[in-house]
Amino acid sequence: MKQVISVLVENQPGVLNKINGLFSRRGFNIENLAVSVTEDESVSRITMIIDIGHNAVDQLEKQLN
């Protein structure tokens, strides 16, 4: 099941790498990735489309927090 996950993160070097590592360690493939700055330039939005089950989304949400 494809899921869209959107995350607000600090706009700093290495943040995308940390999030990518979280998905990589669990064997999840990111099918689509978009990163953009929000109205607050210190915050970025990362939007991803991944193919995982509903239970895994709950687990990822907890770990991203």
Q: Which amino acid is at 36?
A: S
Q: Can you identify the CATH homologous superfamily of domain 2-64?
A: ACT domain (3.30.70.260)
Tens of pLDDT along the chain (65 residues)? 888 989 999 999 999 999 888 888 888 888 999 999 999 999 999 999 988 876 777 777 777 77
pTM greater than 0.85 (yes/no):
no
